[in-house]
Structure 1
Amino acid sequence: MAENVLSTPGHLVSLAARGFARLSESRLKPLGFGVGQLPVLVALKDGNASTQRDLARFAKVEQPPMAQMLARMERDGLIERTPDPVDGRSSRIVLTRAAQERMPVAIATLFQGNREALAGFTQAEEAQLIDLLTRLIANLDQMAGAEAR
């Protein structure tokens, strides 16, 4: 029996990711956020990054797209940049008060969307899915790193 390319994990994960992205985008837009901004928002909120370089690394994107995203976020009043006291060529990036105030609602909205998408899944199935996807992402990251060398 021939394999169906539309039933492969890669294709199904891609469909799921696009579905989550569409759902999240439609729910975050009224709050002034975009789904692509999530890694930046979370990293800044949690204190995991404060420079463009750190944010690009955290979000696993290249510097130019990160610079563009940060420029849009600054224009939209989500972030502020201040000179880095240690490195004058760099800037520290922080969430604005407005973004900080909307973050709890945005996070709750995303969790609600996940709960709805996983309707009918047991807690064990949800935990297993998270574990499997985490391992899959680690494998893909390892493969990408090997190919880059």
Structure 2
Amino acid sequence: MNDPHMPPHPMKLMGRAMRGFSRLADAALRDLGFATGQLPVLVSLKHRQTLSQAELARIAQVEQPSMAQLLNRMERDGLVQRMADPADKRSRLVSLTADAGERMPQARAVMQSLSQQALAGFTPEELAQLTELMARLNQNIDRMADAADSL
């Protein structure tokens, strides 16, 4: 039973913030033909031109079958294209379509605006502290994941 005098657990608060932010971002990005779940793929391909499905799965921290499904939808929607890897005919390389690349700056502007609104009222010092704390939390979670993977 929840005690109304106890502050909420930080992990609960982070989960709620992430779900709320994702819901708002999905609604805003929908008009551009994007979704928040696609952002790790879109940003990675924008910076690196072409990547394998395995590399994208590692970057997005999802399993290969989940990445395959995401890439199938993105290819269907004209956001990415796949081509045979000249170095390994069994593998396929993924790249952004020109159309997706042209819409990326608008999506970035949407995400920056939403981030600014979400962080409104925080002082520069508070933002620096929040960033440091979240980085430390992510390091802990990465260590936990690495330990679980090595079992």
1:124 CA displacement: 1.9
Change (3 A) 1:3 1:138: farther
**Could you tell me which amino acid in structure 1 is paired with residue 70 of structure 2?**
M
**Stretches of 4+ aligned residues off by more than 6 angstroms:** 2-6
Change (3 A) 1:49 1:9: farther
Identity of aligned residues (%): 50
In structure 2, stretches of 5+ residues that fail to align are: none
Distance 2:92 2:61 in 1: 19
Q: Counterparts of 1:53-92 in structure 2 under 5 Å?
A: 53-92=54-93
Q: Counterparts of 1:90-129 in structure 2 under 5 Å?
A: 90-129=91-130
**1:134 pairs with 2:135:** yes
Distance 2:123 2:6 in 1: 28
Give CA deviations for 1:2-45 in whole Å, capped at 9, x if unaligned. Answer: 69787111101100110110111011010000100000000000
Counterpart for residue 51 of structure 1: 52
In structure 1, stretches of 5+ residues that fail to align are: none
**Aligned length, in residue pairs:** 148
User: Which structure has the higher relative contact order (CA within 8 Å, separation 6+)?
Assistant: 2
Q: Taking structure 1 as the reference length, what is the TM-score of the superposition?
A: 0.93
* Matched-pair contact (CA < 8 Å) for 1:25–1:34: yes
* Matched-pair contact (CA < 8 Å) for 2:53–2:64: yes
SS of 2:81's equivalent in the other structure is strand
Distance 1:72 1:9 in 2: 34
**Could you tell me which amino acid in structure 1 is paired with residue 66 of structure 2?**
P
Counterpart for residue 17 of structure 1: 18
**Could you tell me which amino acid in structure 2 is paired with residue 144 of structure 1?**
A
1:144 CA displacement: 2.1
Change (3 A) 1:12 1:35: same
**Could you tell me which amino acid in structure 1 is paired with residue 89 of structure 2?**
G
* Matched-pair contact (CA < 8 Å) for 1:49–1:58: no
Change (3 A) 1:48 1:77: closer
Q: Taking structure 2 as the reference length, what is the TM-score of the superposition?
A: 0.92
Distance 1:18 1:44 in 2: 25
